[in-house]
């Protein structure tokens, strides 16, 4: 299989949303994530239609500046008739006010930037303006399915926004005592899943990474927890499953690993489908709808000492895939599923964005 990249010249803008972002000084990590979010159709429409304004917490102007600048940037990227690159400088001013770690021009981790950004946007359009007092309710007597729903409802009492609607799912952690068999469950919200990559292989699949993330682990020695039934520390097994899949699933591949005094990068190729990624085997309830299509990739090239982020995104208007490298963008051609699977296979993706498909009728 082969593929070609067609350059999109300044005067040949063929669809809306095709625009580069100026690098303000080591801000490729930011530009990569912004392009992925710009091509997230539901989030884009939320900004384009000014729907975010009815959700803004307008107690004071500074509390909504990040969402306002983000929406303004998305609007510029999608309504501009020019092919000139857009400067995200005003947006950067606001994200570094919200998260001072992004002050300056040091290279940063794109996934950490995404987490801070989504958290900031959520806080400014949270529909909950007065959070209820934290009262500890005991749901342990309930069946797991009902307990998960109760815990999700409790979460929404405090955190409820368009950002949560799109990006947040629920993870189930099961702890089983090897002595008496007692199983305790904990349900936690998640914004993304950070997947380990199996070492020692030239190429693995995304499903391999998911299976490694959800495989049963043995907790022994110093890790042994106290069993509720035995009233003593016992050897146990721990396993993750997904209780509630989000509409937009972000999978972060853990390419950077810390070993003693330095950080190294795993260059393993991760193979994944462009369409119909079926994750139902990882669901707590196998009847859950968990089939996704890929629409964006944040890609890291280089090493931990000096690297560069780019983005590969499917334009929601014309269905074509483009690569974004700061101010420049290129078109993948042709756009048949067989062909464009190939270049994606040979990227070193850092974060993958999937959109859920409607459940199929039985």
Domain carrying residue 118 = 27-347
Tell me, what's the pLDDT at 269?
A: 84
How far is the C-alpha of 238 from the C-alpha of 173, rounded, in Å? 7
Q: What is the pLDDT of residue 203?
A: 84
Q: Is residue 290 part of a domain?
A: yes
**Total Cβ atoms within 10 A of residue 6:** 12
Confidence category of residue 256, pLDDT binned at 50, 70, 90: low
CA distance linking residue 177 with residue 85, whole number of Å: 57
pLDDT value of residue 339: 27
Map residue 272 onto helix, strand or coil: coil
Query: Number of C-alpha atoms within 13 angstroms, CB side, residue 239?
Result: 12
Indicate which residues carry an active-site annotation: 28, 308
3-state class (DSSP) for residue 283: strand
Question: Which pLDDT value is given to residue 62?
Answer: 59
Question: Is the link from the previous residue into 334 a cis peptide, with omega within 30 of 0?
Answer: yes
Confidence label for 354 from pLDDT (cuts 50, 70 and 90): confident
Instruction: With beta carbons less than 8 A apart as the criterion, state whether 120 and 95 touch.
Output: yes
Classify residue 19: in a domain, yes or no. no
| Neighbouring C-beta atoms of residue 40, cutoff 10 Å | 22
List C-alpha distances in Å: 152 to 1, 77, 130, 156, 357. Answer: 45, 35, 18, 6, 22
Q: Does a structural domain hold residue 179?
A: yes
Contact indicator for 134, 159 with CB cutoff of 8 Å: no
Task: Give the count of domains, the chain.
Answer: 1
Beta bridge partners of 257: 264
Return the pLDDT at 13: 54
Rounded-to-integer distance, Cα 193 and Cα 357, Å:
19
Q: Is the pLDDT of residue 3 over 50?
A: no
Residue 279 CA to residue 354 CA, distance in Å, equals 11
Q: Is residue 44 part of a domain?
A: yes
In a domain, 5, yes or no: no
Confirm whether 132 is domain-assigned.
yes
**Contact status, residue 10 vs residue 83, Cβ threshold 8 Å:** yes
Residue 362, in any domain of the structure: no
- pLDDT per residue as tens digits for the range 177-201: 999 999 999 999 999 999 998 877 7
The number of CA neighbours under 13 Å toward the Cβ of 169 is 22
| CATH number for position 223 | 3.90.70.10
Give the strand pairing for 248-253 and 4-7: unpaired
Mean confidence (pLDDT) of the chain:
86
Q: How far is CA 49 from CA 45, 103, 256, 334, in A?
A: 6, 30, 38, 32
How many whole angstroms from its chain centre is CA 163?
Answer: 12
Asked, for residue 2, whether it belongs to a domain, the answer is no
Q: What is the per-residue pLDDT across 70-95, written as a single tens digit (0 to 9) for each?
A: 999 999 999 988 889 999 999 999 99
What's the Cα-to-Cα distance from 137 to each of 149, 154, 176, 183, rounded to whole Å? 13, 10, 22, 19
* 227 pLDDT more than 80: yes
């Amino acid at each position: 299989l082969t593929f070609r990249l067609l350059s999109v010249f300044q005067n040949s803008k063929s669809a809306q949303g095709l625009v580069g972002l100026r690098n303000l000084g080591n801000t490729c990590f930011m530009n990569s994530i912004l392009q992925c979010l710009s091509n997230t159709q539901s989030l884009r429409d939320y900004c384009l239609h000014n729907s975010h304004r009815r959700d803004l917490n307008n107690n004071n102007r500074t509390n909504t500046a990040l969402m306002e600048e983000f929406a303004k940037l998305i609007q510029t990227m999608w309504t501009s008739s020019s092919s000139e690159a857009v400067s995200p400088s005003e947006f950067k001013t606001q994200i570094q006010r919200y998260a001072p770690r992004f002050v300056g021009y040091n290279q940063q981790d794109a996934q950490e930037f995404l987490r801070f950004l989504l958290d900031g946007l959520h806080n400014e359009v949270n529909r909950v303006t007065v959070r209820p007092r934290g009262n500890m309710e005991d749901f342990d007597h309930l069946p797991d399915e009902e307990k998960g729903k109760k815990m999700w409802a409790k979460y929404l009492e405090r955190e409820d926004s368009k950002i949560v609607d799109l990006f947040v799912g629920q993870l189930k952690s099961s702890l089983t005592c090897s002595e008496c068999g007692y199983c305790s469950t904990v349900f936690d919200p998640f914004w993304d899943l950070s997947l380990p990559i199996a070492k020692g292989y030239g190429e693995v699949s995304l499903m391999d990474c998911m299976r490694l993330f959800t495989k049963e682990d043995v907790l022994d020695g110093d890790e042994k927890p106290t069993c509720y039934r035995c009233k003593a520390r016992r050897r146990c097994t721990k396993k993750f499953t997904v209780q509630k899949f989000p509409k937009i699933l972000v999978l972060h591949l853990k390419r950077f690993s810390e070993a003693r005094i330095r950080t190294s990068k795993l260059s393993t190729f991760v193979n994944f489908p462009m369409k119909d990624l079926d994750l139902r085997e990882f669901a707590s309830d196998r009847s859950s709808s968990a089939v996704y299509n890929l629409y964006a990739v944040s890609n890291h090239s280089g090493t931990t000492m000096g690297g560069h982020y780019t983005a590969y995104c499917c334009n929601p208007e014309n269905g074509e895939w483009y690569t974004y490298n700061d101010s420049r963008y290129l078109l993948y051609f042709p756009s048949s599923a067989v062909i464009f699977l190939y270049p994606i296979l040979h990227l070193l993706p850092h974060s993958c964005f999937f959109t859920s498909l409607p459940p199929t009728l039985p």
